[in-house]
């Protein structure tokens, strides 16, 4: 049966479409505009704020949906009300797509959320899938609201739901912070992060995330569950930069600046969020995912970094 993928021209969506196609699985790509590089049937995504009926032709005849469409990676948000802007796309469009899917008899709706719905930092232990939702930003708030709405709708309509909450995703053509780090390493820029060795960050390679999403489409135990995902190896910022630099063939130039000075300087410049991403810890526990689905990340961190570096340099 056909799988509809929204956000199919994005970083994750494009790889998911191509992987499913290579496996011989029928795919329908929901796009904002026709994309000749996607060699699958395409449907155009309705505008934000449109009714459920506008979504029904997109999901008609589909057995499963993977909903990746989102407003994300907005570094300098110029929206007068950022939360409202995130809700319009991340919450309301998710609700409309899910309602249309339920009305058309879709069996399972897989929603790609974010680890941000459970916070942006860890101290004593990694985040677990059953921990409460404590979104830390307008983006995370909109994703948390979409999760709750999906669960309620799916339960009322007897449609299976699955939620996947990734941390930072890296791979070829990665957007956001990972691209910035690769650009800095490529330019041999000195980075004052040699002392950032005590933090731990969970990451997930693009191919590991795609593998889990494909698993969640059909695995019986994935129904009505939320899963965390990572590579299964957490790294300090300094270790990540050194291993990424090795993968790129551009050894990281790290300067030994004390963490306290970095934190103080970041707060003084109003860059506390950036400091948290570089200096703080954010770990996820994927034991629930492993046990429930019998899933193991197929790609190691070093192989994932090699693929990311290869894509960046290409």
All residues at 6 or more sequence positions from 288 whose CB lies less than 8 Å from its CB, including other chains? 128, 129, 130, 227, 228
Tens of pLDDT, residue by residue over 27-37, are 999 999 999 89
Query: Alpha-carbon distance 22 to 32, whole Å?
Result: 23
Instruction: Tell me the pLDDT tens digit for each residue of 145-189.
Output: 999 999 999 989 999 999 999 999 999 988 888 889 999 999 999
Question: For the residues 113-123, what does the mean pLDDT come to?
Answer: 95
Is residue 7 included in any domain, yes or no? yes
Q: In the predicted model, is pLDDT for residue 19 greater than 80? A: yes
Number of structural domains, the chain?
1
pLDDT of 207 higher than 80: yes
Domain membership flag for residue 232: no
How confident is the model at residue 175, as a pLDDT? 82
Domain that holds residue 118: 2-165
Catalytic residue positions, numbered? 139
* 103, part of any domain: yes
Task: Assess if residue 101 is contained within a domain.
Answer: yes
pLDDT at 202 over 80: yes
**Residues 214-237: what's their mean pLDDT?**
98
First and final C-alpha spacing in the chain: 35
Give 295-308 pLDDT, tens digit per residue.
999 999 999 999 99
- Token pair, residue 46, equals 């309705």
Asked whether residue 78 is domain-assigned, the answer is yes
Look at residue 229 and tell me if it is in a domain: no
Q: Which of 169, 59, 58, 162 is nearest to 111 (CA)?
A: 162
pLDDT at 75: 62
Is the pLDDT score of 85 beyond 70?
A: yes
Number of residues that this document lists for the chain:
314
**CB atoms closer than 10 angstroms to residue 73:** 12
Please indicate, yes or no, if residue 105 is contained in any of the structural domains: yes
Domain-embedded: residue 311: no
Contact yes or no for 173/139 (Cβ under 8 A): no
CATH code of 137's domain = 3.40.50.720
Residue 165 DSSP one-character state: E
Alpha helix locations (H) across the chain? 11-22, 52-59, 82-86, 93-103, 138-157, 176-186, 206-218, 237-248, 259-268, 272-279, 287-293, 301-313
Quote the percentage of the chain above a pLDDT of 90.
85
């Amino acid at each position: 049966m056909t799988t509809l993928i929204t956000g199919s021209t994005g970083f994750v969506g494009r790889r998911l479409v191509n992987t499913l196609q290579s496996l011989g699985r029928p795919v329908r790509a929901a796009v904002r505009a026709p994309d000749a590089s996607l060699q699958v049937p395409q449907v155009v995504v309705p505008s934000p704020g449109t009714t459920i009926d506008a979504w029904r032709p997109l999901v008609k005849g589909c057995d499963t949906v993977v909903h990746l469409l989102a407003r994300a990676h907005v570094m300098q948000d110029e929206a007068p009300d950022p939360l409202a802007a995130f809700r319009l796309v991340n919450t309301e469009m998710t609700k409309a797509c899910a309602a249309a899917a339920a009305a058309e008899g879709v069996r399972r709706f897989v929603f790609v959320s974010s680890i941000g719905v459970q916070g942006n930092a860890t101290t004593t232990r990694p985040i677990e899938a059953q921990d409460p939702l404590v979104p830390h930003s307008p983006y995370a708030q909109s994703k948390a609201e979409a999760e709750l709405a999906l669960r309620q709708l799916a339960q009322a309509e007897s449609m299976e739901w699955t939620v996947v909450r990734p941390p930072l995703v890296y791979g070829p053509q990665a957007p956001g912070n990972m691209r910035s780090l690769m650009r800095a390493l490529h330019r041999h820029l000195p980075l004052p992060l040699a002392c950032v060795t005590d933090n731990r960050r969970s990451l997930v390679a693009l191919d590991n995330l795609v593998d889990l999403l494909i698993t969640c489409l059909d695995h019986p135990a994935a129904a009505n569950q939320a899963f965390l995902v990572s590579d299964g190896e957490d790294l300090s910022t300094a270790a990540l930069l050194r291993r990424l630099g090795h993968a790129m063939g551009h050894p990281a130039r790290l300067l030994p600046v004390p963490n306290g000075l970095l934190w103080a300087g970041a707060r003084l410049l109003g860059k506390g969020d950036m400091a948290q991403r570089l200096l703080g810890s954010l770990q996820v526990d994927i034991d629930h995912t492993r046990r429930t689905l019998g899933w193991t990340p197929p790609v190691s961190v070093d192989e994932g970094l090699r693929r990311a570096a290869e894509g960046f340099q290409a």
